[in-house]
């Protein structure tokens, strides 16, 4: 046995001994007043600036929200919006005006927002077939898609409630008579496009049943390119949610007025849901939300207050 | 043949304990009847008749399971637990559409948990199996026919086989003794494994078979034994031996029991009658009572509480779900049309909303099952096993001399060790070594021996000598010990040059000294064992006292070296100092019994004189002295009192010469009395013996010390400082007990002693008059009165804070334990600082233990070493066995075995405290982490119309308990230390945290539960507010269900792991590894799982790589949630530690301030004691300093 070996053996022995005798070297921190005050101060000093930065990011985002679900129903039909929306013979187009209050730098994200819509309902979430989305009609076991599984014995592709209830309002944007170019590509996650929705899977017998749910798909385009569907099929976490519709790739100036021509097809009236159209720029933190910033500042401030209170108490009551 | 026969009779005369001739009277008429149907064909087990009976084979199985029954049986055991059964139901339901998650993900944790527990069971059973294999494959010589004996495995023995067992071998089955290497066909048996008694028992074969000494004599041996059926009674046996046409009775005298050992006999022949499960020892083995700790019992309640929470949450959820589902169809019009309520299954049917709600209730029960910590039980079991390994490994509790480490035999009770309120201790062998040392003697009115006993040392202190003097005494003792480089003879600690080294013939009364020493060498039942190599002689004695006497005689020149059945041989010094050989014909032995309190032998010396040599307790001996034999009575009495005061056990020695006539008469009567087969045989023998044991001539008295074990007073002092009450339950007499009490500081001067005693003259008189009921009634009345008086004293002493000691004798205890008295007795006993029960029987020990346990509800620990402590050990909450000299019986029935009493200090104050702390914080933390997790799931349901959709991916859910959060908890349970072992021992009061259960009070548990809810609230609402509906990253993407789930889960993992880091104050590498490793593991898992095929990873596919990791808000949110969740706890504990520190926190302060070695500072902390200690030498010292202070003030 060579010397280093023996040395290593000895160290191992000692470590084992210390282990069995429960006397391993250990760090034993005690919450001394010094540490407590330092930690509180440190947290305060970290979180207040972070909160301010976060708030700034949030404030830098320009967001225009327009609720259109009521306005886009003719006055005469507003008593019974449900029969209005369900009546296919009535044209559903509608125009909205949005005024830009602050300069918006491209890309400007277009979202539609739905409220009181339970995309996270268990029945709804489960009602899809990932394998069918990827492999198409070759995949037969689509029982999870009930009740939107078969149509006259023909499998529906894509099956399930989620696809069936696809959002189908559409928007065009006009600024000063010129149509704004809306890029509707790249609105879905890349992983979804590449790995979850088949490139050779085409819609089949979709929305052919007695009850038409939401939007239709282009039968000739493979699912992996139907990004509206892909976005829609990432179910939302909360009953109030936005989904990306597209991006305007031009800057919008202050006081620009944008005319939105939309097709108000989607039925949220049955369950009293709202529909909103949102234009928003994004910062490094995403969209406009002051919560993070406020929370950071509050936590930071309360840490500072605690530090002060603790210091005072500590000085007043000597041990 | 005639001669041999006579000798045998002669022999049975010597041993009073061999119960005469078995006869066909009485029970033997039952043979062949029901319960007595066994027929054994000796030496012919294969014969046709024998095969009809089909008795058990000799394979002994102690395992719980076999290969075939393992799975069904252990699974059944597992699912008997309510929590496991619930998870089983969940697992079954997971295959139905009710399930909110996939079946596989749900079953995996259950499989892991159940598998781990079953694995543990299997390992334990495998150990037992190995032991079984070892036992069953032991070999014994068995008759193969034609007089040839060959080695055979134990398990192959059959009923009727003839075996030959050799010296120091165990008997392989229950045997009938046929013959032995001795002419008289006797053998000595050690039954330590059966009853814990170390003395040898004598067995003797029936006359008809006793001549079969040779292997070859069994060639044609044929006999039939008819006997009773297998039963558990060790001390009775009825049977008959049919040899040819004759029938011979068999009694327990011929029965050799399995697991006992052949001693002092070269070999025996025996026939197997009971095998395997039929043997008495196995019939006797009962399952030890399974004990559960209080913490665990409370834990069950918490689990039930969580179940209640679970059900309430599920009911709330299902009600809301029912309402919302009903509203999905309003007058036949769909509201939430995207759910297709018109074409739905029963689970979501608005038309049958009530049914849907009930089914949803089941779903919710499964979904919120994460409130119940599935891995709690298995984690606790793992932790406890590891804790017991630490206890076993502790070198501070390893007794090097006997190579005995501490052994936790059950791991169930580790934390209970931290909550012991009362210790009930045996005395002999527990507080004392049970190695008797001959230390003093009084011969012819002169006291010999300079040794100083522990008690004397204590007494010196008691008499008011200050501390310095004590030290001097101790040092003196040490010097003395160093000076005499003795070859350490066990049992002999006698120093007196006057009679040592053959100097005794120069003393006055040298003839008395000679007689005295001779008596010591003859009057006993010990057996010498000569070491063949060295020629040294050691003695096998019934009790250590006896051995001490023989050793003392040997050391002083009267070496007993041989015992045959009829004679005793000695080397002795004669008066001129020459060594001569003498042998004495042994005629009779009058056995010791507790009622006689003396033993005698009758011998004939070489001159033909008949001598009766007698030794016994002073109370019975002095009244038997002859008028002319009291020459030294006064001085001897004085000496005896002195010795008793010094804590020694004394015996009085006396002798008498008998004339031939008297002896013949006596012998006749005695033989007759012994051959009587009736209940009053004992009495008759006693009566006969009484007649001859009179007119004795006093020689002197002996004093042996029952030495206190090392470190006992220190240990008791520490335990007392820790606030543990110590009761001593002993079989010894009151004086000895009180002396030992003083020696180990349980009693001290100035302590008022309440003595409850029934040995009053009136009671004795009543008893003598024969009216037993009246005597009992009077006795009881006096006990009640004494208790009442004691209570008055207690009330008055409470005012001036004096400590009381209660001393009860056995008879009073019987009355005090009666139903109507016991409450007031207990009240008195609890009020007293120390309690000593003397003369208590094993049953009384158990009863006292039960009384304390049930009436006060506090945790009791019983500690003992002998078979007489077994009841007490099993009755107490924790039984600690001392693996000392008195056999293994106590250890076998104990929960934890240690080698020395002093290890109790470390066992309780260090391991007990740690284990209690670990287990209780571990359970609290378990509930915290599961509540924190479970409530986030519940909160999400509020936003998902209670539909049962989980916010997390299935595998996140199922791996939470077994993967990301389990290891830190186990590390907490195994390694955490609030205070190092050194400080644990330095501040014994820390132990009060366990007794008062401050770490596992309901308040604390609820506070942790509240903390869990608080964390869940912060995590959930921060996450949903921060990831509301806006884009959560630069690219403008919004957070879907999967992103929110992954983010929240990340927050939960961070928060619960950091909460753990925050709440412990002890970090080794292991803690760091497990806590931070748990968090890192989560990220690794998230990446690995996300990289799998989307079919497997489903919603977690690339969620971290693609969506979360690049988003600044994800990281910021994690940090914010983490800090905010921990802030309340941090602020609380900062303030609590600073302004309202618990005791262990105070000690942590001291340590971190580096003041733990500052005696004054430590004293101040000690002064913060919750109550002042009342026993132990510290208390004694304090009492003394207090009183001297008072005196000082009085002077001023």
Residue to substitute from B389, B942, B1031, B1119, interface A, most A β-carbons within 10 A: B1031
Q: CB within 8 A of B904, min separation 6: which ones?
A: B423, B715, B719, B863, B880, B898
Please state whether the peptide bond connecting residue B314 to the residue before it is cis, i.e. omega within 30 degrees of 0: no
Q: What angle do CA B293, B294, B298 make, to 5 degrees?
A: 120
Residue to substitute from A14, A45, A60, A120, interface B, most B β-carbons within 10 A: A120
Residue B919, min C-alpha distance to chain A (Å): 16
Say yes or no for a CB contact (<8 Å) between A280 and B1030. yes
Strand-pair partners of B756:
B808
Q: By the 8 A CB rule, do B186 and B268 touch? A: no
Candidates A125, A242, A285; nearest CB to B1038: A242
* pLDDT attached to residue B477: 45
Residue to substitute from A133, A237, A296, interface B, most B β-carbons within 10 A: A237
How far CA A144 is from CA of A64, A161, B295, B342, in Å, comes to 39, 10, 47, 17
CA-nearest of B1190, B1189, B1167, B1170 to B1178 is B1167
Query: Among positive and negative, which fits the CA dihedral A76, A78, A79, A84?
Result: positive
Q: Residue B719 burial (CB < 10 Å; 0-12/13-18/19+)?
A: buried
Candidates B337, B943, B1138; nearest CB to A314: B1138
Candidates A54, A213, A242; nearest CB to B338: A213
Residue ranges at the known binding site of B for Mg(2+): 426, 428, 865, 869
Say yes or no for a CB contact (<8 Å) between B390 and A22. yes
Q: Residue B202 burial (CB < 10 Å; 0-12/13-18/19+)?
A: middle
Please name the residues between 256 and 285 in chain A that touch chain B, using a CB distance below 8 Å: 267, 270-272, 280, 282-285
* pLDDT attached to residue B472: 41
CB atoms within 10 A of CB B1152: 16
CA-nearest of A205, A202, A186 to A194 is A186
Query: How many inter-chain contacts (A to B, CB under 8 Å) are there?
Result: 245
* pLDDT attached to residue B486: 47
Q: What is the DSSP letter of B912?
A: I
Candidates B100, B344, B1112; nearest CB to A285: B1112
Residue A5, min C-alpha distance to chain B (Å): 23
Q: What angle do CA B826, B830, B831 make, to 5 degrees?
A: 120
Say yes or no for a CB contact (<8 Å) between B1116 and A54. yes
Please name the residues between 1134 and 1173 in chain B that touch chain A, using a CB distance below 8 Å: 1134-1135, 1137-1139, 1148-1149, 1151-1152
Rounded CA Rg of chain A:
29
* pLDDT attached to residue B475: 41
Residue to substitute from A60, A116, A122, interface B, most B β-carbons within 10 A: A122
Question: Following DSSP, what letter does each residue of B171-236 receive, concatenated?
Answer: PSSEEEEEEESSTT-EEEEE-HHHH---SEEEEE--GGGTT--SGGGGTT--EEEEEPPP-S-TT-
How far apart are the C-alpha atoms of B682 and B677, rounded to whole Å?
A: 10
A213 vs A262, more confident: A262
Domain B157-284 sits in CATH at 2.70.150.10
Q: What is the DSSP letter of A178?
A: E
* pLDDT attached to residue B671: 83
**B contacts of A227 (beta carbons < 8 Å):** none
How far apart are the C-alpha atoms of B822 and B838, rounded to whole Å?
A: 17
Catalytic member of B426, B706, B717, B954: B426
Q: Does B1112 touch chain A (CB under 8 A)?
A: yes
Residue A175, min C-alpha distance to chain B (Å): 22
CA-nearest of B982, B908, B929, B961 to B425 is B908
CATH topology of domain B402-432+715-904: Rossmann fold (3.40.50)
Please state the φ and ψ torsions of residue A253, each to the nearest 5 degrees: -95, 165
Average pLDDT, 10 consecutive residues per value, chain B (1196 residues): 37 40 53 77 77 80 81 84 84 85 83 85 84 86 84 87 88 88 82 64 81 82 85 78 81 84 86 86 68 85 90 94 89 84 85 90 90 85 89 89 84 87 86 80 85 68 48 42 51 78 78 86 82 76 79 85 82 77 86 76 87 85 82 85 76 89 88 70 79 86 83 85 87 76 76 79 65 77 86 78 82 85 88 85 84 89 83 88 72 84 91 93 93 94 91 90 87 90 87 89 94 96 91 89 94 94 90 92 93 85 89 93 95 90 84 71 59 58 60 49
CB atoms within 10 A of CB A132: 27
How far apart are the C-alpha atoms of B1076 and B1082, rounded to whole Å?
A: 10
Token reading at B388: 């017991």
Residue ranges at the known binding site of B for ATP: 426-428, 546, 592, 615, 649, 730-732, 839, 845, 868-869
Q: Residue B475 burial (CB < 10 Å; 0-12/13-18/19+)?
A: exposed
How far apart are the C-alpha atoms of B1156 and B65, rounded to whole Å?
A: 53
CA-nearest of A44, A27, A28, A29 to A311 is A44
How far CA B885 is from CA of A286, B268, B544, in Å, comes to 78, 27, 10
Collapse the DSSP code of B143 into the 3-class scheme (helix H, G, I; strand E, B; otherwise coil) and give the result: strand
**B contacts of A164 (beta carbons < 8 Å):** 338
How far apart are the C-alpha atoms of B859 and B293, rounded to whole Å?
A: 9
Please state the φ and ψ torsions of residue B824, each to the nearest 5 degrees: -70, -30
Say yes or no for a CB contact (<8 Å) between B943 and A239. yes
Candidates B344, B1022, B1040; nearest CB to A147: B344
Say yes or no for a CB contact (<8 Å) between A271 and B1107. no
Q: In what order do the strands lie in the sheet with B896-898?
A: B407-408, B896-898, B878-882, B859-864, B420-425, B725-729, B834-837, B804-808, B752-756
How far apart are the C-alpha atoms of A98 and A59, rounded to whole Å?
A: 20
Mean pLDDT of chain A: 88
Please state the φ and ψ torsions of residue B1073, each to the nearest 5 degrees: -60, -45
Q: Which residue of A has its CA nearest to B1061?
A: A29
**B contacts of A300 (beta carbons < 8 Å):** none
* pLDDT attached to residue B589: 83
How far CA B678 is from CA of B23, B128, B600, in Å, comes to 12, 44, 24
Q: Does B1111 touch chain A (CB under 8 A)?
A: yes
Token reading at B217: 């004599």
- Please state which CATH class domain B433-476+489-586+614-655+697-706 belongs to: alpha beta
Q: What angle do CA A18, A23, A27 make, to 5 degrees?
A: 120
Q: Which residue of B has its CA nearest to A244?
A: B1037
Residue A263, min C-alpha distance to chain B (Å): 19
Token reading at A89: 């013979």
Dihedral of the alpha carbons of B18, B191, B173, B31, in degrees to the nearest 10: 40
Q: By the 8 A CB rule, do A142 and A159 touch? A: yes
How far apart are the C-alpha atoms of B204 and B390, rounded to whole Å?
A: 48
Helix axes B376-393, B103-136, angle to 10 degrees: 40
**A contacts of B1138 (beta carbons < 8 Å):** 31, 33, 36, 310, 313-314
How far apart are the C-alpha atoms of B515 and B613, rounded to whole Å?
A: 10
| 3-class DSSP string for B90-128 | HHHHCCCCCCCCCHHHHHHHHHHHHHHHHHHHHHHHHHH
Q: What is the DSSP letter of B696?
A: B
Q: By the 8 A CB rule, do A57 and A284 touch? A: yes
**A contacts of B1029 (beta carbons < 8 Å):** 113, 238, 240-242
**B contacts of A307 (beta carbons < 8 Å):** none
Please name the residues between 11 and 70 in chain A that touch chain B, using a CB distance below 8 Å: 20-33, 36, 39, 43, 47, 50, 54, 63
Collapse the DSSP code of B700 into the 3-class scheme (helix H, G, I; strand E, B; otherwise coil) and give the result: strand
Residue A310, min C-alpha distance to chain B (Å): 8
Work out whether strand A182-183 and strand B38-42 pair parallel, antiparallel, or are unpaired.
unpaired
Q: Does A150 touch chain B (CB under 8 A)?
A: no
Q: By the 8 A CB rule, do B942 and B403 touch? A: no
How far apart are the C-alpha atoms of B749 and B910, rounded to whole Å?
A: 31
Q: What angle do CA B1192, B1195, B1196 make, to 5 degrees?
A: 95
Q: By the 8 A CB rule, do B736 and B706 touch? A: yes
How far CA B188 is from CA of B237, B294, B998, in Å, comes to 18, 46, 56
Cite the beta strand spans of B591-673 per DSSP E: 598-604, 610-616, 648-658
**A contacts of B1068 (beta carbons < 8 Å):** 24-27
**B contacts of A122 (beta carbons < 8 Å):** 100, 944, 947-949
| B426 belongs to the catalytic site | yes
Candidates A21, A82, A134; nearest CB to B394: A21
**B contacts of A295 (beta carbons < 8 Å):** 1022, 1025-1026, 1120, 1124
Please state whether the peptide bond connecting residue A148 to the residue before it is cis, i.e. omega within 30 degrees of 0: no
């Amino acid at each position: 046995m060579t010397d280093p070996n023996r040395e290593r053996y000895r160290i191992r022995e000692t470590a084992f001994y210390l282990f069995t005798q429960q006397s391993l070297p250990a760090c034993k921190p005690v919450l001394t007043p010094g540490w407590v005050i330092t930690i509180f101060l440190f947290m305060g000093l970290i979180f207040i600036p972070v909160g301010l930065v976060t708030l700034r990011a949030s404030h830098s985002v320009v967001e225009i929200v327009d609720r259109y679900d009521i306005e886009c129903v003719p006055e005469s039909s507003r008593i019974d919006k449900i029969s209005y929306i369900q009546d296919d013979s009535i044209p559903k187009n509608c125009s909205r005006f949005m005024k830009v209050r602050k300069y918006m730098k491209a890309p400007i994200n277009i979202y539609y927002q739905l409220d009181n819509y339970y995309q996270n309902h268990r029945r709804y979430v489960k009602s899809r077939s990932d394998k069918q989305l990827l492999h198409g009609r070759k995949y037969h076991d689509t029982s999870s898609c009930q009740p939107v599984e078969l149509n006259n014995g023909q499998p529906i592709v894509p099956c399930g409630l989620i696809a069936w209830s696809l959002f189908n309002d559409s928007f065009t944007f006009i600024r000063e008579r010129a149509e704004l170019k809306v890029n509707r590509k790249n609105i879905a996650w890349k992983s979804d496009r590449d790995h979850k929705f088949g490139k050779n899977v085409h819609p089949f017998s979709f929305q052919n049943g007695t009850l038409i749910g939401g939007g239709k798909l282009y039968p000739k385009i493979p699912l992996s390119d139907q990004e509206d569907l892909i976005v829609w099929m990432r179910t939302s976490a909360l009953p109030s949610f936005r989904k990306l519709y597209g991006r305007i790739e031009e800057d919008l100036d202050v006081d620009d007025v944008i005319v939105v021509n939309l097709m108000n097809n989607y039925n949220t009236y049955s369950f009293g849901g709202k529909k909103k159209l949102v234009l928003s720029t994004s910062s490094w933190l995403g969209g406009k939300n002051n919560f993070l910033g406020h929370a950071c500042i509050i936590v930071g401030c309360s840490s500072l207050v605690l530090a002060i209170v603790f210091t005072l108490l500590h000085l007043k009551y000597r041990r | 043949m005639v001669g041999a026969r006579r000798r045998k009779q002669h022999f049975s005369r010597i041993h009073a304990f061999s119960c005469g001739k078995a006869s066909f009277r009485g029970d033997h008429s039952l043979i062949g009847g029901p319960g007595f149907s066994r027929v054994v064909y000796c030496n012919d087990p294969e014969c046709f008749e024998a095969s009809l009976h089909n008795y058990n084979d000799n394979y002994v199985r102690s395992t719980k399971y076999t290969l075939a029954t393992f799975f069904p049986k252990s699974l059944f055991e597992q699912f008997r637990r309510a929590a496991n059964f619930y998870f089983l139901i969940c697992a079954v339901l997971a295959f139905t559409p009710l399930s909110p998650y996939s079946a596989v993900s749900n079953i995996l944790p259950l499989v892991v948990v159940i598998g781990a527990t079953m694995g543990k069971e299997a390992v334990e059973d495998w150990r037992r199996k190995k032991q079984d294999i070892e036992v069953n494959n032991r070999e014994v010589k068995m008759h193969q026919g034609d007089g040839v004996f060959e080695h055979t495995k134990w398990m192959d023995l059959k009923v009727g086989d003839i075996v030959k067992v050799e010296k120091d071998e165990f008997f392989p089955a229950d045997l009938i003794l046929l013959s032995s290497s001795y002419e008289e066909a006797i053998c000595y048996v050690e039954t330590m494994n059966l009853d814990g008694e170390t003395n040898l028992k004598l067995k003797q074969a029936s006359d008809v078979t006793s001549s079969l000494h040779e292997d070859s004599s069994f060639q044609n041996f044929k006999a039939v034994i008819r006997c009773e059926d297998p039963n558990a009674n060790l001390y009775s046996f009825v049977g008959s031996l049919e040899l040819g046409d004759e029938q011979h009775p068999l009694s327990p005298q011929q029965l050799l029991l399995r697991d006992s050992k052949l001693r002092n006999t070269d070999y025996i022949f025996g026939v197997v009658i009971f095998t395997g499960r039929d043997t008495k020892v196995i019939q006797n083995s009962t399952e030890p009572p399974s004990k559960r700790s209080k913490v665990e019992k409370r834990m069950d309640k918490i689990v039930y509480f969580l179940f209640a929470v679970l059900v309430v949450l599920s009911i709330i959820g299902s009600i809301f779900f029912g309402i919302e589902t009903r509203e999905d169809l309003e007058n036949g019009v769909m509201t939430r049309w995207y759910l297709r309520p018109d074409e739905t299954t029963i689970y979501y049917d608005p038309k049958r909303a009530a049914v849907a709600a009930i089914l949803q209730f089941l779903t919710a029960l499964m979904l919120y099952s994460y409130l119940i910590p599935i891995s709690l039980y298995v984690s606790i079991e793992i932790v406890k096993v590891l804790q017991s390994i630490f206890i076993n490994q502790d070198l501070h509790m390893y007794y090097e001399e006997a190579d005995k480490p501490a052994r936790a035999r059950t791991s169930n009770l580790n934390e209970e060790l931290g909550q012991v309120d009362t210790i009930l201790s045996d005395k002999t062998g527990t507080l004392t070594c049970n190695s008797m040392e001959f230390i003093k003697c009084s011969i012819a009115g002169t006291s010999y021996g300079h040794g100083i006993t522990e008690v004397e040392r204590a007494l010196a202190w008691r008499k008011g000598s200050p501390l310095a003097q004590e030290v001097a005494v101790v040092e003196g003792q040490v010097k003395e010990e160093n000076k005499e480089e003795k070859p350490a003879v066990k049992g002999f600690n006698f120093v007196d040059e006057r009679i040592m080294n053959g100097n005794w013939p120069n003393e006055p009364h040298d003839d008395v000294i000679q007689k005295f020493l001779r008596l010591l060498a003859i009057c006993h039942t010990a057996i010498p064992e000569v070491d063949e190599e060295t020629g040294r002689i050691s003695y096998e004695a019934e009790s250590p006292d006896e051995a001490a006497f023989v050793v003392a005689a040997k050391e002083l020149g009267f070496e007993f070296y041989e015992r045959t059945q009829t004679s005793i041989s000695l080397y002795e010094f004669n008066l001129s100092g020459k060594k001569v050989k003498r042998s004495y014909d042994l005629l009779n032995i009058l056995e010791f019994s507790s009622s006689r309190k003396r033993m005698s032998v009758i011998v004939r010396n070489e001159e033909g004189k008949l001598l009766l040599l007698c030794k016994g307790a002073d109370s019975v001996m002095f009244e038997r002295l002859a008028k002319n034999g009291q020459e030294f009575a006064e001085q001897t009495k004085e000496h005896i009192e002195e010795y008793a005061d010094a804590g020694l056990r004394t015996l009085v020695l006396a002798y008498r010469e008998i004339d031939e006539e008297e002896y013949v008469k006596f012998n006749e009567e005695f033989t007759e009395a012994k051959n009587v087969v009736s209940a009053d045989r004992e009495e008759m023998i006693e009566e006969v013996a009484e007649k001859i044991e009179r007119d004795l001539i006093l020689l002197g008295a002996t004093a042996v010390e029952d030495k206190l074990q090392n470190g006992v007073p220190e240990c008791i002092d520490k335990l007392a400082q820790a606030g543990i009450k110590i009761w001593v339950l002993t079989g010894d007499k009151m004086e000895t007990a009180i002396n030992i009490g003083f020696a180990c500081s349980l009693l001290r001067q100035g302590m008022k002693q309440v003595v409850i005693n029934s040995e009053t003259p009136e009671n004795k008189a009543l008893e003598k008059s024969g009216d037993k009921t009246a005597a009992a009634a009077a006795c009881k009345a006096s006990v009640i009165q004494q208790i009442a008086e004691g209570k008055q004293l207690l009330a008055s002493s409470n005012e001036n804070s004096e400590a009381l000691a209660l001393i009860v004798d056995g008879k009073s205890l019987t009355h005090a334990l009666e139903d109507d008295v016991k409450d007031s007795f207990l009240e008195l006993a609890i009020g007293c600082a120390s309690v000593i029960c003397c003369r208590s029987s094993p049953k009384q020990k158990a009863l006292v233990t039960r009384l304390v346990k049930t009436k006060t509800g506090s945790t009791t620990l019983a500690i003992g070493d002998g078979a007489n402590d077994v009841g007490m050990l099993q009755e107490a909450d924790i039984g600690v066995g001392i693996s000392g000299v008195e056999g293994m019986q106590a250890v076998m029935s104990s929960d934890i075995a240690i080698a020395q009493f002093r290890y109790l200090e470390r066992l309780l104050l260090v391991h007990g405290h740690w284990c209690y702390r670990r287990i209780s914080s571990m359970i609290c933390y378990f509930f915290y982490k599961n509540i924190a997790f479970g409530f986030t799931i519940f909160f999400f349901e509020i936003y998902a119309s209670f539909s049962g959709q989980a916010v997390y991916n299935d595998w996140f859910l199922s791996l939470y308990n077994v993967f990301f959060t389990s290891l830190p908890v186990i590390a907490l349970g195994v390694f955490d230390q609030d205070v190092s072992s050194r400080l644990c021992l330095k501040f014994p009061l820390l132990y009060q945290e366990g007794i008062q259960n401050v770490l596992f009070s309901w308040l604390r548990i609820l506070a942790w539960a509240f903390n869990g809810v608080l964390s869940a609230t912060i995590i959930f609402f921060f996450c949903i507010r921060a990831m509301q509906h806006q884009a959560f990253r630069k690219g403008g993407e919004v957070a879907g269900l999967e992103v929110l789930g992954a983010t929240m889960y990340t927050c939960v993992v961070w928060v619960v792991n950091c909460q753990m880091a925050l709440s412990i104050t002890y970090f080794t590498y292991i803690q760091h590894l497990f806590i931070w490793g748990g968090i890192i593991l989560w990220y690794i898992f998230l990446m690995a799982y996300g990289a799998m095929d989307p079919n497997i990873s489903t919603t977690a596919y690339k969620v971290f790589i693609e969506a979360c990791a690049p988003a600044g808000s994800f990281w910021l949110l994690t940090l914010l949630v983490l800090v905010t969740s921990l802030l309340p706890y941090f602020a609380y504990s900062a303030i609590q530690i600073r302004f309202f520190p618990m005791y262990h926190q105070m000690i942590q302060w001291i340590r971190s301030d580096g003041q733990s070695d500052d005696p004054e500072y430590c004293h101040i902390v000690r002064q913060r004691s919750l109550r002042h200690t009342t026993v132990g030498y510290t208390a004694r010292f304090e009492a003394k300093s207090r009183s001297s202070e008072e005196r000082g003030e009085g002077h001023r």
